[in-house]
Amino acid sequence: MQTNTGEAKRTLAKPHEAVDRLHRLLRQDRPLVMGIVNVTDDSFSGDGLKGDATAAIAQAKAMAEAGADLIDLGAESTRPGAAPVSFQQEIQRLVPVIEALRRDAPQLLLSVDTRNAGTMRAVAVAGAHLINDISALEGEGSLEAAIRSGLPVVLMHMQGQPGTMQQSPHYDDVVGEVRDYLAQRIAACRAAGLSRDRILIDPGIGFGKSVDHNLTLLQRLQAFRLLGYPLLVGASRKSFIGAVAREPEAQRRVPGSVAAALWAAQNGAKILRVHDVAETVQALNVWQAMQRGTLKVEKGQ
């Protein structure tokens, strides 16, 4: 995507702002809530907005009102069995939403869920604050694009590709293998020039994992904290919750999703990626008050 000199200059100060703002939030004594906005044709959770920018903007603003600290915008469905979309289509769906939210809700931190280098470049120029990559910057040109963007990046573990990842996931030691993969990707990114303060990690709940794999990863989240990077957990409405709760409808898995979010918070997650922001924020507020044994209301809550 071409940019003029003025546009390029406006983006130079923004990466430092994005890193600084994110780390100020991460220093809070509670996990951050990241609301999911799917500007996709479909979604496993049933909330795909089919490229409707107006609906996506409204949903993001509503999530911010409900207490979301970040919004994660996605324009490619990565549900099991999903087909890839072009980065051009991603850009068409994402950029108008990012530009509108930067204008109308400048307090919001905007994450973009993408594994495409071209999309990373475009959303950085449009004003995104964070790149959330399910392929941990292994895609062609992604590592270079992420480094040049200056933005923080979430490195996620996924076994296989979305189209086939749930067919027969296998691990000899799921925690060890996921941890080692993330450690290897951290080392590769650091060696290429991605600074430590721009790296976050995600064990990839539901991405090439069975129900038992997911439960084991959640049980042992502390193993990922030991890597020394902020931990993001996205368990919201995932199929393992449906299996445990015997609930086939993703949109009816809110109670189980809140339970998973609270478990992740208690075990060191710094960011909770969720569909149901209001319910998660309320649960976190009550959980925190019980931990403290007192009512302490933060400004803005």
| DSSP sequence for 133-183 | ETTTT-STTHHHHHHHHT--EEEE--SS-TTTTTSS---SSHHHHHHHHHH
CA distances from 221 to 148, 218, 239 (A): 31, 5, 19
- Spatial contact of 186 and 199, defined as CB atoms under 8 Å apart: yes
The catalytically annotated residue of 273, 292, 296, 299 is 273
Token representation of residue 132: 């959330």
Q: Which amino acid is present at 2?
A: Q
Phi then psi for residue 268, to 5 deg, are 100, 0
50 tagged catalytic: no
Query: Which residue has tokens 């925690």?
Result: 175
CA distances from 66 to 34, 71, 80, 301 (A): 11, 12, 29, 9
238 tagged catalytic: yes
* Paired strand residues for 128: none
CA distances from 36 to 178, 179, 196, 203 (A): 24, 25, 25, 17
Task: Give the span between the Cα atoms of 137 and 151, in whole angstroms.
Answer: 13
How many residues in the chain? Answer: 301
- 3-class SS of residue 199: strand
The catalytically annotated residue of 209, 237, 238, 270 is 238
* Paired strand residues for 231: 201
Task: Give the span between the Cα atoms of 285 and 301, in whole angstroms.
Answer: 9
Report the Cα 226 to chain-centroid distance in Å.
20
User: So which residues are the catalytic ones?
Assistant: 238, 273
